[in-house]
Structure 1
């Protein structure tokens, strides 16, 4: 299948969660043998208009990120690529609507990948136009899908395709048993890691060790808070870890805590659950994390640091696992198949128009 990815940004120009998701999807499709073309702002040197890297053919629509100029030049490059399906990101929304106009002339469908629950870089009217015109709108969670529907996408055209993990890595990795509990996420303004630290402080008279995985502008404050709470001798800040280093830490731990106030998809929590951790989620209106643990034997929902501390104690009676095959459906291959099925469904449905 020939897929045109329309995203002005790549991780080289804007390293954000939504762009990283696009990169993972594109790389997975290319690895499976699909013909993937990424239409973007040029992020490489020289006068080469397009080149291939890791199976993805990158096409320079503009010399640098410029939303208006990208939109004006996009139709020419998209027609030249001549795809079977267009995979467009929702930010900025005008790029998706321009892609749809061109795709209509090419008689191919547009699948819109909508990562953010509350996206910026565009007006509500622009997002509504993007949501209603796309042939399919894909969200990473039901929480985001609800927001997409509020922007006008229909129940029929909006569906969920989650993030994915490497179950082979989960099964094969050794366990690093230095820690009893783990918290893992970017330490940014939405991290809310203080809730986890407050819960640990409630348990300072018990025997435990904890790891905080991730880095960002909130790290210094979190380290000071741990010291102020007199638990810094048992809390290790590990910084950013790649998957190969993160998985052993999860496999050796018993509890993973999720407290972020905003999370379109809780990828760290998914890895932890697959690694056998008990997932304890502090419910937040802006986070989809609760979706992964609702109805799960090894999952808990709480609403405060005190409840989080209580559940950490209560979960001590559960057996320790290093793998949970109940999450095999989130494996990279399985989720990639969902994307391909979505494209094929969109192509078939488009053919009836």
Structure 2
């Protein structure tokens, strides 16, 4: 299948959650031997408007991140000339959805829009126009799906497809040493690590060890808080680790605690759950993390430090695992299949073969 991905900015321009998600889908479908093309602003040196990289063809629709007007004007005609089977666009900026919609119409193919929602979903005229154009909208969670519906999208056209993980990679990494509780996230002002530290402080008379993975501007403040709570001798602040190092830590850990206040999809928690961790989520209105543990017998949802502490105790009664096949549906191949099924269904609806 010939797939035209549209993203004014890519992970090669700026490493954001939204761009990471989009690139992961690009790479998955390229790895499954599809003819994958990305239409973006040029991020490579030289005058050549095409770049072949890792089985993906990148097309520089315009040069320079400031060339937005040129990108939006040229995009419909470039897409139509590429003769794709489907157009798959990122939702931001909103103008590119409108331009991609025109290009898909000219090419007589369906338009699917990827709405990740990192940073929220704007409530303006351009966003509402964009929400009404696609033939289908994919979001990473029900939380983002709700935001998009509130901006005018047809709820029947919104589908949740999660971020992918790699179960084979999890199985290939040797488990690290045993630890009772692990937390992993960039330690910034949205990390809300204090909730976990306060819960652990309530359990200081119990026998436990915890690891905090991640670095950031709030790390020193959290280390001081652990010291003030007199639990710093039982918590290891491991700093930033590679993915394989994090997987090893998750396979050795018993509980993964998610307390961040904002999260459109808890990718790190998903890796940990698939690596066998029991999941404990502190509920927040702007976080979708609770969606992963609802109705699951190895997951707990809490709303306070007291409940979090109780959940850690309850989780201790569950068996230790270092891989959980329950999460096979989140594996990259399964996620790629869901996109392909959606593309084909949209083609059938349009009578495109």
TM-score over 0.5 for the alignment? yes
Q: 1:92 deviation in Å?
A: 0.7
Contact 2:76–2:99 (CA<8 Å) still a contact in 1?
Answer: yes
Matched, 1:300 2:307: no
Q: 1:230 deviation in Å?
A: 2.5
Contact 2:6–2:38 (CA<8 Å) still a contact in 1?
Answer: yes
Distance 1:123 1:320, change over 3 A: closer
Contact 1:185–1:191 (CA<8 Å) still a contact in 2?
Answer: yes
Contact 1:145–1:160 (CA<8 Å) still a contact in 2?
Answer: yes
> What residue number does 1:317 align with?
317
> What residue number does 2:181 align with?
181
Distance 1:227 1:43, change over 3 A: farther
Contact 1:7–1:89 (CA<8 Å) still a contact in 2?
Answer: yes
Q: 1:178 deviation in Å?
A: 4.1
Per-residue displacement from partner, 1:48-74 (whole Å, max 9, x unpaired)?
Answer: 211111111111112111333321222
Corresponding residue SS for 2:208: coil
Q: 1:268 deviation in Å?
A: 1.2
**Cα distance in 2 between the residues matched to 1:308 and 1:40:** 44
**Cα distance in 1 between the residues matched to 2:350 and 2:193:** 46
Corresponding residue SS for 1:236: strand
**Cα distance in 2 between the residues matched to 1:243 and 1:117:** 21
**Cα distance in 2 between the residues matched to 1:328 and 1:311:** 25
Map 1:118-137; keep pairs closer than 5 Å. Answer: 119=120, 124-137=124-137
Q: 1:42 deviation in Å?
A: 1.4
Contact 1:117–1:143 (CA<8 Å) still a contact in 2?
Answer: no
> What residue number does 2:49 align with?
49
Q: 1:204 deviation in Å?
A: 2.1
Q: 1:119 deviation in Å?
A: 3.4
**Cα distance in 2 between the residues matched to 1:239 and 1:110:** 41
Per-residue displacement from partner, 1:142-201 (whole Å, max 9, x unpaired)?
Answer: 111111111222232111111111111222322112421111122233221121111122
> What residue number does 1:170 align with?
170
> What residue number does 2:25 align with?
25
Contact 2:76–2:106 (CA<8 Å) still a contact in 1?
Answer: no
Per-residue displacement from partner, 1:250-277 (whole Å, max 9, x unpaired)?
Answer: 1111100001111111111111111111
**Cα distance in 1 between the residues matched to 2:238 and 2:83:** 46
**Cα distance in 2 between the residues matched to 1:6 and 1:234:** 48
> What residue number does 1:35 align with?
35
Per-residue displacement from partner, 1:90-128 (whole Å, max 9, x unpaired)?
Answer: 1111111111012111111110000117636x6522111
Corresponding residue SS for 1:254: strand
Instruction: State TM-score, norm by structure 1.
Output: 0.95
Name structure 2 gaps, 5 residues minimum: none
**Cα distance in 2 between the residues matched to 1:118 and 1:187:** 17
> What residue number does 1:279 align with?
279
Matched, 1:326 2:352: no
Matched, 1:109 2:98: no
Name structure 1 gaps, 5 residues minimum: none
Corresponding residue SS for 1:301: strand
Map 1:1-353; keep pairs closer than 5 Å. Answer: 1-66=1-66, 67-116=68-117, 119=120, 124-351=124-351
**Cα distance in 1 between the residues matched to 2:115 and 2:251:** 31
**Cα distance in 2 between the residues matched to 1:35 and 1:18:** 22
Corresponding residue SS for 1:180: strand
**Cα distance in 2 between the residues matched to 1:92 and 1:221:** 36
Contact 1:223–1:232 (CA<8 Å) still a contact in 2?
Answer: yes
Distance 1:65 1:155, change over 3 A: same
Count of matched residue pairs: 351
Instruction: State TM-score, norm by structure 2.
Output: 0.95
